């Protein structure tokens, strides 16, 4: 199964502005302004995340795929084309 040997992901908190993820002993923040697909999602759907590859996270209930790089550097992945 893809990702079965990868370390687990843990959400650390959910707030009005986004949620934290603990990944490889590094905490990242997913801001709703940068990732609006999560803004109106139920908590259970946000908590249900799979790590398919080292740089690939997937939320199956929301059908959202994000790279870890895009979470770390959202300015490099704008939601709108310029």
User: Per-domain residue ranges for the chain?
Assistant: 10-76
On whether the 10-76 domain is CATH 3.30.2020, my answer is yes
Tens digits of pLDDT across the chain (82 residues): 554 566 677 778 899 999 999 988 889 999 999 899 999 999 999 999 999 988 899 999 999 999 999 888 888 877 754 4
Return the pLDDT at 20.
94
Evaluate whether 44 touches 30 at the Cβ level (below 8 Å): no
- CA–CA separation, 66 and 50 (whole Å): 11
Phi-psi region of 25 (alpha: psi -120 to 50; beta: other; left: phi over 0): left
Helix, strand, coil shares of the chain, percent, nearest 5, are: 20, 35, 45
């Amino acid at each position: 199964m893809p990702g079965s040997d990868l370390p687990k992901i843990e959400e650390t908190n959910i707030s009005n502005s986004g949620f934290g993820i603990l990944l490889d002993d590094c905490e990242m923040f997913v801001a709703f302004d940068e990732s609006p697909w999560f803004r109106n999602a139920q908590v259970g759907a946000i908590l249900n995340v799979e790590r398919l590859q080292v740089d690939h996270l997937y939320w199956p209930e929301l059908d959202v795929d994000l790279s870890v790089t895009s979470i770390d550097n959202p300015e490099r992945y704008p939601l709108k084309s310029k």
